[in-house]
């Protein structure tokens, strides 16, 4: 396949066409922050953390849903981008009730790591402190909506990889919630196969197995892509 020339952060590269800016940057070890992206799942450009500047286009574009084009001039580290990454991160924390000290994910959390990455030292927006449910109805797993950031990685892994489509999103705006079936308690779901892939896909401590204590959670989000790749292999 013919490679195409692009310029990323003032350096020239020859890259594969048909790939997204995010894929290209990851291969070149250029850091782009993401939250809703998980390799192996369809990208939806929801979290707005992977925004990049492309010369000739005024608005910022999400790297995960924008394909590279010949002679594209991409910037990933400008002040404008850093400003938005910071705002987005602060809004994640202000939207629900994220308390790292009492969380199963403490120390291994993608949201917490993002906070460190953008050097979050305070949150300029008022916390909404919504009343969120903790669904403990499933025999093995817990869904804590207080820690959910609505990345919908659980929804996509359940639909695209497991094929069960137990999860989806209800309502809109600040009222959005992840639901199973007809907003049924998870343990009473008719579609859940209890496979546990949503748990590994979840970037925070929103979905976790019972019998885990604070800070002890080990997740393996990479298993999603491993599964997807193995299914493509010919025996």
Partner 1 sequence: MTAHTTHHHVHTHELSKTDPRVKLLAAKIKKENHKPDALIEILHTAQNAFGYLPKEVLIYIAQELKLPPSRVFSTVTFYHFFSLKSKGEHTCLVCTGTACYVKGAQALLNKIESQFSLKPGQVTPDNKLGVAVARCIGACGLAPAVVIDNEVQGKVTADDLINSINGKIATI
Nearer to partner 1, 107 or 163 (CB): 163
**Candidate segments 76-84, 178-186, 197-205, 217-225, binder of partner 1 by CB under 8 A:** 178-186
Identify the H or E element spanning 13. strand 11-15
**Candidate segments 31-39, 63-71, 85-93, 186-194, binder of partner 1 by CB under 8 A:** 186-194
Nearer to partner 1, 12 or 175 (CB): 175
**Candidate segments 39-47, 53-61, 119-127, 174-182, binder of partner 1 by CB under 8 A:** 174-182
The DSSP 8-state label assigned to residue 160 in this structure reads: I
**Candidate segments 2-10, 54-62, 99-107, 179-187, binder of partner 1 by CB under 8 A:** 179-187
Alpha carbons 211 and 213: distance in angstroms, whole number? 7
| Count of residues engaged in binding partner 1, rule: CB under 8 A | 20
Among 184, 196, 212, 223, binds partner 1 (CB under 8 A): 184
Residue 168: both structure tokens together: 């989806």
Alpha carbons 33 and 2: distance in angstroms, whole number? 28
Q: What are phi and psi of 141, to 5 degrees?
A: -120, 160
> Nearest approach, Cβ of 33 to partner 1 (angstroms)?
28
Judge whether 69 and 85 are in contact, CB under 8 Å: no
The DSSP 8-state label assigned to residue 173 in this structure reads: G
* Residue 112 within binding range of partner 1, rule CB under 8 A: no
**136-165 residues near partner 1, rule: CB under 8 A:** 159, 163-165
* Residue 57 within binding range of partner 1, rule CB under 8 A: no
> Nearest approach, Cβ of 190 to partner 1 (angstroms)?
4
* Residue 193 within binding range of partner 1, rule CB under 8 A: yes
* Residue 66 within binding range of partner 1, rule CB under 8 A: no
The per-residue b/e assignment along 160-188, b for 16 or more CB within 10 angstroms, e otherwise, is ebbebebbbeeeeeeeebbbbbeebebee
- Structure-token match 């000739």, residue found: 56
Judge whether 88 and 49 are in contact, CB under 8 Å: yes
Q: Which residues lie closer than 8 Å to 20 by C-beta, 6 or more apart?
A: 43, 63, 64, 65, 66, 67, 68
* Residue 182 within binding range of partner 1, rule CB under 8 A: yes
Q: How far is CA 55 from CA 7, 8, 49, 73, in A?
A: 10, 11, 19, 5
> Nearest approach, Cβ of 158 to partner 1 (angstroms)?
9
* Residue 85 within binding range of partner 1, rule CB under 8 A: no
Positions in the binding site for partner 1 (CB under 8 A): 159, 163-172, 179-184, 190-191, 193
């Amino acid at each position: 396949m013919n490679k195409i020339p692009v310029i990323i952060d003032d350096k020239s590269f020859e890259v594969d066409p048909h790939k997204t800016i995010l894929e290209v940057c990851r291969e070149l070890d250029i850091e782009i922050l993401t939250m809703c992206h998980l390799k192996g799942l369809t990208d939806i450009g929801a979290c707005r953390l992977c925004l990049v500047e492309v010369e000739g286009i005024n608005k910022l574009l999400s790297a995960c849903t924008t394909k590279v084009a010949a002679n594209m001039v991409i910037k990933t580290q400008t002040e404008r981008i850093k400003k938005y990454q910071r705002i987005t991160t602060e809004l994640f924390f202000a939207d629900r009730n994220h308390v790292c000290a009492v969380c199963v994910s403490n120390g291994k959390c993608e949201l917490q790591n993002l906070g460190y990455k953008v050097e979050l030292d305070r949150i300029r927006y008022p916390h909404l402190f919504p009343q969120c449910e903790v669904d403990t109805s499933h025999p093995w797993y817990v869904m804590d909506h207080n820690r959910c950031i609505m990345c919908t990685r659980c929804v996509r892994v359940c639909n695209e990889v497991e094929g069960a489509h137990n999860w989806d999103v209800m309502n809109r705006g600040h009222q959005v919630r992840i639901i199973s079936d007809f907003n049924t308690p998870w343990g009473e779901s008719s579609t859940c196969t209890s496979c546990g892939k949503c748990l590994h896909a979840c970037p925070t401590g929103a979905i976790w197995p019972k019998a885990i204590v604070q800070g002890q959670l080990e997740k393996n989000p990479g298993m999603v892509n491993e599964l997807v790749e193995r299914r493509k292999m010919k025996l």
